[in-house]
Chain A
Amino acid sequence: EVQLVESGGGLVHRGGSLRLSCAASGFTFRSFAMGWVRQAPGKGLEWVSSISTETLRTDYADSVKGRFSISRDNSKNILFLQLSSLRADDSAEYFCVRDTIGGSRSFDSWGQGTRVTVSS
């Protein structure tokens, strides 16, 4: 069974940093592209970032480019998202997602989410 378990969320001051982690199990992690999707309170889903299997390609939403960094450790089956220069509008629930094999940005598995709250 595919499991994605996020951690690292919490309360942080505006301008601060946070690192989110996603522990993956139940599948061959290194064979799948991965990503992060967020949902702010009362808003819709927003894609944040994606990373290819061997980190050859990373993509970011314009809203986070230059402030967030996605990475992965294939030896430990962990996906990361480093959040920096945080703003109030970064407050959201952040979901770790698995991409379908081949990396077509079709998210077939989702974690339960970790909440980030940026205080001013």
Chain B
Amino acid sequence: SYELTQPPSVSVAPGKTARLTCGGNDIGTKSVHWYQRRPGQAPVQVISFDIDRPAGIPERFSGSNSGNTATLTITRVEAGDEADYYCQVWDSDSGRVIFGGGTRLTVL
């Protein structure tokens, strides 16, 4: 079955750039979606279809997807960006939705 691999944690200083990766076999051929879950809040979609930013999501958030790795990039990181981030794909043949294990972003 298809699996997505995310590093458990990433730390970054305020104002710097965070790059969160999501690995999967030929993930570049799939559409990847990213979600942010802050403590005590419901998840929020921050990137859809590899690169699209939903309304209300800051331009500091961007996505890319190629080969075996998709990446969520957050520029000018702020304290409020501290959260768990999850990547997700859909295997349309099986109907299954797959989430990565999540990356905890810590702002130093």
A50 touches B44 (CB 8 A): no
B residues less than 8 Å from A37 (CB atoms): 43, 99
Determine if B98 is an interface residue (Cβ-Cβ < 8 Å): yes
A82 and B102 CA atoms in complex are apart in Å by 27
Q: How large is the interface on B (under 10, 10 to 19, 20 to 34, 35 or more residues)?
A: 20 to 34
A45-B48 contact, Cβ under 8 Å, with A59-B95, A95-B43:
no
Within 8 A of A (CB), among B72-100: 84, 86, 88, 90, 92, 95-100
Within 8 A of B (CB), among A33-71: 35, 37, 39, 44-47, 50, 57, 59, 61-62
A106 and B86 CA atoms in complex are apart in Å by 12
Q: How large is the interface on A (under 10, 10 to 19, 20 to 34, 35 or more residues)?
A: 20 to 34
A45 and B89 CA atoms in complex are apart in Å by 13
A residues less than 8 Å from B90 (CB atoms): 104-106
Determine if A32 is an interface residue (Cβ-Cβ < 8 Å): no
A44 and B37 CA atoms in complex are apart in Å by 10
Determine if B108 is an interface residue (Cβ-Cβ < 8 Å): no
Residues of A that sit less than 8 Å from B by CB: 35, 37, 39, 44-47, 50, 57, 59, 61-62, 95, 100, 104-108, 110-113
A–B complex contacts, Cβ < 8 Å, 25 sampled: A37-B43, A39-B37, A44-B84, A44-B100, A45-B35, A46-B99, A47-B96, A47-B97, A50-B97, A59-B96, A61-B96, A61-B97, A62-B96, A104-B31, A105-B88, A106-B45, A106-B48, A106-B88, A106-B90, A107-B33, A107-B45, A108-B45, A110-B43, A110-B45, A113-B42
